[in-house]
A = this chain, B = another copy of it.
Amino acid sequence: MAVGAAIDEPVLVEATRGDLIESRHRGVVAAVDVAGNVLLEIGDIGAPVYPRSAIKPLQALPLIETGAADAFGLGDEELALACASHGGTARHVSIVEAWLARIGLGEADLRCGAHRPYDANAPRALYASGGRPTPLHNNCSGKHAGMLNTAMHCGDAPAGYMAADHPVQRRVLDALQDMCELDLDQSPVGVDGCGIPTIAMPLRSMALGMARFAAPVSLLATRAAAVERIRAAMAKQPALVAWQGTFVTDVLTTTAGNVIVKNGAEGVFCAALPALGLGVAIKIADGASRAAEVATMAALTRLGAFSHKQAAALTKRLTVPLRNWTGTLVGELRPGDALH
């Protein structure tokens, strides 16, 4: 009966309710330095994982390296949104909209599809004013604006920018291969939630890419400068990388960007620790975001990523109180034994 028992994925996070552990989340954790040394390994870190949006900071590299960002005078707001899974608030939407106008395009050129804004407060404001979700509200609209910006700068046709063989995606692939030190030509490939390719890689390689993003010592000067600029943008605009009240925005804000974290769909998380020269990648087997956040927090704490003051400020991100609709404390999310 123990089908799948061969899969090495320990319990990383537990959800309690009253007297019982009600639910359990399994997964895999890798922490790697720039030389590829593995400092933390839980589960099978060699199994292929789709990075989804957790590597958006790496996908944004060509936007800077092609000169597209400078050509159109992008600031921290646009660069943070290029790395974002944002909340679709009026602020997120208006910056992306103005950015598209600046490159001579508009909402109709976005091919990411529309969905209800992720910020829980945003739908009410949107609907109460008679609005409807558009591709601008899509959490990936900043990444797509960045890709369109690169296309316009490089003279690529903006239409079809999502296809794997479009120059925009080829440049992204090259950056990923270089940062993660992988040949991705034969890797499993899928279509991401917003329509662009997502290419699977071992969690170990994803962590290596983030280590090099954390400590770009071995990179070419142009690449190193692009990395520093993206990190600075995420640090300065934490509420544009996600939205107020989220784990990502909270960690970026609390650490002043000294701990860079980015979430992806299906329970993926990446982190870059410049002070330690480490990259971290996490996949929750069942795809749950709530568990990916707690596991990331636990792994980062164990790696010594936070000062005492930061850890204290983030304590409710490590052991998360669970309240029901009446406000009653009913349980908690907490790290499992594998992450203690």
Contact = CB atoms under 8 A, between A and B. Distances in A.
For chain A, give the interface size range: 35 or more
Given A3-B336, A10-B5, A191 B123 contact: no
Contact of A286 (B5, B25, B114, B130): B25
Interface string A274-303: 000000000011111001000000000000
Kindly report how many copies of this chain are found in the complex they form together. 2
B291 A4 contact: no
A158 interface: no
Binding site of A, secondary structure by majority: helix, strand, loop or mixed?
loop
Contacts of A26: 4, 26, 286
A153 to B, nearest CB: 24
B48 A20 contact: yes
Given A191-B328, A195-B324, A20 B127 contact: no
A22 B266 contact: yes
B266 A42 contact: no
Interface centre among A24, A48, A120, A326 (most CB of B within 10 A): A326
B338 A20 contact: no
A195 B330 CA distance: 9
Interface stretch (A11-19, A228-236, A239-247): A11-19
A4 B336 contact: yes
A50 B22 contact: yes
Interface of A: 1-5, 7-8, 10-11, 15, 17-20, 22-26, 41-43, 48, 50, 111-116, 120, 123-124, 126-128, 130, 132, 138, 188-195, 198, 200, 266-267, 284-288, 291, 324-328, 330-331, 336-338
20 contacts: A1-B41, A2-B8, A3-B10, A3-B336, A3-B338, A18-B188, A18-B189, A18-B198, A19-B200, A22-B287, A23-B267, A24-B285, A113-B327, A114-B325, A115-B325, A127-B127, A138-B325, A190-B330, A192-B324, A195-B328
